[in-house]
Amino acid sequence: MNVIYLDNNATTKVAPEVVDAMLPYLSEYYGNPSSMHSFGGDVAEKIKEARENVANLIGATADEIVFTSCGTESDSTAIRAAVESNPDRKHIVTSRVEHPAVKNLYETLSKKGYRVTFVPVDGQGNLDLDYLYSNLSNDTAVVSLMWANNETGVIFPIEEISQKIKDRGIVFHTDAVQAVGKLPIDINETGVDLLSLSGHKLHAPKGIGVLYIRKGTKFSPFMIGGHQERGRRGGTENVASIVALGKAAELAQKHLDEDGYAHIGQLRDKLEAALLTRISHSMVNGDREHRLLNTTSIAYEYVVGEAVLLMMNEHGICASSGSACTSGSLEPSHVLRAMGVPFTAAHGSIRYSLSRYTTAEEIDVVIEKTPPIIERLRSMSPFWKEAVKLAAV
Ligand code: PLP
């Protein structure tokens, strides 16, 4: 059975060109980039090239790019560095819908005496900007907000926010893990000081990330060791993965330049429109205007998302549900709860996330297979029967 992979916000296929680029650095070119000899020096040159490619993708300069092990490391490093370099300030501002990579760090920081403000979102997943601005003070050390939401794809107005808060001595960090490679980003159009990205969301392998550090931003490293990454992240470089990310960044730039994700957006819109038409009591979670072009989160009322996923899996279709099931609970996700999505809808929410490898034929299969799955599950649901009865009254 062919796999139809619509779970690209979880992770992406490593692009074949990326595999080809990285393989020699797992075999013949194994020199240490810090070595004096040219066998190591050649590897250092290749890292330089990768750094430039990543910098180009976000409009940064190469020396503002620090390679890390993943998006989570970049997020943690950024937020810790921001508070450590502003020891007189004890306040952090973030949103209620951040990824656990960021969200769970605040529990630790709260225990250390930091006050954290979680800015709410509305029913469309848009940030309450008035709440955000009115909560900033001279005690605020860092504002950390995601650029695009991993569950709904909703995009926060990062450029606008960063312009509003700059010149206040507040460090501005953005978790751009879902945004980089999917949106055109020019970091110089923003006042962002720190930005996190992750290789495996843009067709590079897992285990490689980047922290962008704007020139002049006060910074203290998390990994203290050798002089690698100009002292900002010690440890011998993950050369093959860095080379891979450099190639993935180059490809992402090319695809963005070619059609700016328009093709992926058309397939997403086709999928969404067909499912909403064919399945009653279904709706899109999140603002459909300000959204990543590859993502749709659809709530099917009166079914359980995990059951839908299992039945989709029988047809080789991979997607995600809106529950925090990875943590062993069937609680609806904190993102959908923050948006006030009703329980019956949040529980039956499915996130479809496409990539440049998604085909029109695959979308047709999903459109064909999904309605009978929902119908079957609803036919077994006492809540659905009750809802139909009430609607008939
Ligand atoms: N931030 C967001 C918005 C994400 O979606 C993810 C991963 O899903 C992360 C951070 C964590 O990235 P990584 O898996 O590279 O640690």
70 is catalytic: no
Task: Give distance in angstroms: CA of 101 to centre of ligand 1.
Answer: 6
Predicted confidence (pLDDT) at residue 326 exceeds the cutoff of 70: no
CA–CA separation, 241 and 46 (whole Å): 11
Best mutation site among 67, 76, 79, 99 for ligand 1 pocket (most ligand atoms within 8 Å of CB): 99
Task: Give distance in angstroms: CA of 10 to centre of ligand 1.
Answer: 8
Per-residue pLDDT averaged across 68-80, rounded? 98
pLDDT given at position 167: 86
Predicted confidence (pLDDT) at residue 329 exceeds the cutoff of 70: no
Instruction: State the burial class of residue 336 (Cβ atoms within 10 Å of its Cβ: 0-12, 13-18, 19+).
Output: buried
Average pLDDT taken over every residue of the chain: 95
Task: Give distance in angstroms: CA of 72 to centre of ligand 1.
Answer: 6
Question: Of these residues, 116, 325, 365, 367, which one is catalytic?
Answer: 325
Task: Give distance in angstroms: CA of 393 to centre of ligand 1.
Answer: 46
198 lines ligand 1 (CB under 6 A): yes
Predicted confidence (pLDDT) at residue 320 exceeds the cutoff of 80: yes
77 lines ligand 1 (CB under 6 A): no
pLDDT digits (tens, 9 = 90+) for 114-171: 999 999 999 999 999 999 999 999 999 999 999 999 999 999 999 999 999 988 999 9
pLDDT digits (tens, 9 = 90+) for 247-279: 999 999 999 999 878 999 999 999 999 999 999
Ligand 1 atom closest to the Cα of residue 175 is: 1
Ligand 1 atom closest to the Cα of residue 10 is: 8
pLDDT digits (tens, 9 = 90+) for 333-359: 999 999 999 988 999 999 999 999 999
Ligand 1 atom 14, closest CA: 71
What confidence tier does 327 reach under pLDDT thresholds 50, 70, 90? Answer: very low
307 lines ligand 1 (CB under 6 A): no
pLDDT given at position 33: 97
Instruction: State the burial class of residue 129 (Cβ atoms within 10 Å of its Cβ: 0-12, 13-18, 19+).
Output: middle
pLDDT digits (tens, 9 = 90+) for 181-215: 999 999 999 999 999 999 999 999 999 999 999 99
Cα-to-chain-centroid distance, residue 62: 22
292 lines ligand 1 (CB under 6 A): no
Q: Which pTM does this prediction carry?
A: 0.96
Ligand 1 atom 13, closest CA: 71
Predicted confidence (pLDDT) at residue 391 exceeds the cutoff of 80: no
